[in-house]
Amino acid sequence: MGRGSMEQRAVVRCAEGHLFSTTTFPMQNLGPGRLGPGRLIRCPQCGRLRSSVLADVRELSGAQLARAMRLEAAEFLA
């Protein structure tokens, strides 16, 4: 994965606490008041559909961030 593709990824946390990345986090500009804070994404760690929210990368260690960037969500659902 090249440096340019990493900059286009968002780090998210699923309802189970797993960190992973996704290429987009659709409709994030609509805000939690309009649609709620989470989106349904299949977690690459447990393989289940989970409500996921953007992770605060400032709170993550370098190792957590690196691992999240390696775990890529396979699909976005809602």
For the stretch 45-65, pLDDT in tens is: 988 988 889 999 999 999 999
pLDDT number for residue 8: 77
Close Cβ partners of 77 (under 8 Å, ≥ 6 residues apart): 39, 40, 41, 42, 49
Mean pLDDT of all residues belonging to the chain: 78
Lowest model confidence (mean pLDDT) among 9-18, 21-30, 49-58, 69-78: 21-30
Question: Distance of CA 44 to CAs 20, 36, 62, 70, Å?
Answer: 7, 22, 20, 10
pTM across the whole model = 0.71
**Structural contact between residues 40 and 3, judged by C-beta atoms closer than 8 angstroms:** no
What does the pLDDT average to over 1-20?
A: 75
Helix (H) or strand (E) holding 11: strand 10-14
